[in-house]
Structure 1
Amino acid sequence: MEQNMNNTNGQAENVEQKLNNMGSEKKEEILSNFGEFKEYLSGKVSMGKKMGMGEEQLANTAQKVGDYLSTKEEPRNREEKLLQELWKVGTEEEKHKLSHMLVKLVG
């Protein structure tokens, strides 16, 4: 169990580090249009599946991305604003379910 927690923490740090290191121009390109965001997320989900990640692992990663975006980025469109508002009011369980739904949406 402790190894799983360490792996989860390491995964969260890795996700945040990658997002922090992404160039502002590339980040703006992805976040400026919800279709671009879905396409980007779809590519990452596809890559995760090829690496053998299951739906639960993909949802956990999507949740880390959601946590990052909700605290570090301003929404660039209505869809992102809605997701941010849902994220703010959701419990951890609801955020996790929303992450599953996002993986299904783009998968």
Structure 2
Amino acid sequence: MADPKKQAEEKLDNMSESKKEDILESFSEFQQYLKGKVEKGESLGLSEEQMAKGAERVAEYLKNHESPKNTEEKLLQEMWQVAEDDEKHKMAHVLVKLAKKAG
């Protein structure tokens, strides 16, 4: 069985730099990207728990491979870096809720 963390990293690594830049350029673009992924997950029948685990993988990737492009992303990155695993999991749930609310 494939490692979901590796799959997420490969998918993000394969994304074009210009697309990454577009998504990370503004926090609202980042929210819209997450909203699209959450909507896709819901359409596939994923639970909020499964989507939160996906959000954790994305957050870990961003922490390790991308520099924050705005103050909101910088704050999220700093919070992620100091959080314990259970706190990261809770933040991932909050990110899923935030994405659902994005306009």
TM-score (norm 2): 0.94
SS in 1 for 2:58: helix
Query: Which residue in 1 is equivalent to 2:32?
Result: 39
Q: Percent identity?
A: 49
Deviations 1:35-75 (A, max 9, x none): 00000000000000100100000000000000000110000
Out of 9, 16, 24, the position equivalent to 2:9 is 16
Q: CA deviation at 1:79?
A: 0.2
Query: Which residue in 2 is equivalent to 1:73?
Result: 66
Letter of the structure 1 residue corresponding to residue 51 of structure 2:
L
Unmatched tracts of structure 1, length 5 or more: 1-5
What is the alpha-carbon distance in structure 2 between the residues aligned to residue 52 and residue 17 of structure 1? 23
TM-score (norm 1): 0.91
Q: CA deviation at 1:13?
A: 1.1
Unmatched tracts of structure 2, length 5 or more: none
**Count, aligned residues:** 100
Letter of the structure 2 residue corresponding to residue 36 of structure 1:
E
Query: Which residue in 2 is equivalent to 1:3?
Result: none
Q: CA deviation at 1:98?
A: 0.2
Question: How large is the RMSD of aligned CA atoms in angstroms?
Answer: 0.9
Moved over 6 A (4+): none
Trace 1:48-59 onto structure 2 (pairs within 5 A). Answer: 48-59=41-52
Letter of the structure 2 residue corresponding to residue 27 of structure 1:
K
Letter of the structure 1 residue corresponding to residue 14 of structure 2:
N
What is the alpha-carbon distance in structure 2 between the residues aligned to residue 68 and residue 12 of structure 1? 9
